[in-house]
Amino acid sequence: MLQRVQTVYLFLVFVFSLLYLIFPLATLDNGEIIIQAYKIDGIPNEFIKEDNKLTNFLQIVLPVMVFAIMILSIYTTFMYRKRMYQIKLSRLNILLLLILVVASFFFADTIKNNLSLKEISYGVSLLFPFISMILLLLAIKAIKKDEALVRSADRIR
């Protein structure tokens, strides 16, 4: 059952989650400061505030959420015998992706406000959770189609 189309969709969710970690979330102030999900590069030392526990917390939470999404997508792939459970796991993954998007925007805006900068340009990696959500919706549709096919075959017997 691993040759189904939902396997491809779920694998692509894994790939886009990995790309989310590689590409920057945002670039601040004319390209000087680059924000990724797990680190911030290019901040001069005089701007760093040591008392900002929220930024440190988000630098831990974002990669953990991405790894959870990656593991959940792989785990969902191998639960092909339990199609309704696969659908529930995919919906949970969509919820995690929504939380990731909100946390990513919040992370970038918090850094922008702490550094008193005016400009922020969001990176391409903020598109990856949206693409992953679409892929998960397509996977759910394919899983439901498989479930309908199995139920119709059971009805004929």
pLDDT tens by residue, 17-43: 999 988 888 887 655 677 777 776 655
Q: What is the pLDDT of residue 94?
A: 96
Alpha-carbon distance 96 to 105, whole Å? 14
The closest alpha carbon to 147, from 85, 73, 76, 93, belongs to 85
Tell me what pLDDT residue 46 has: 47
Q: Kindly tell me if the per-residue pLDDT of 128 is higher than 80.
A: yes
Q: Tell me what the pLDDT averaged over the chain comes to.
A: 83
Q: How is residue 143 written in tokens?
A: 């899983």
Residue 2 has pLDDT above 70, yes or no: no
**Domains of the chain, first to last:** 5-156 (1.20.140)
Q: List, for residues 85-121, the tens digit of each pLDDT value.
A: 999 999 999 999 999 999 988 888 887 777 776 777 8
Whole-number Å distance between alpha carbons of 10 and 70: 9
User: Measured between alpha carbons, how far is residue 113 from residues 48, 75, 88, 119 in Å?
Assistant: 12, 38, 38, 10
DSSP 35-75: E-SS-EES--GGG--TT-HHHHHHHHHHHHHHHHHHHHHHH
The predicted pLDDT at position 132 comes to 95
How much is the pTM?
A: 0.84
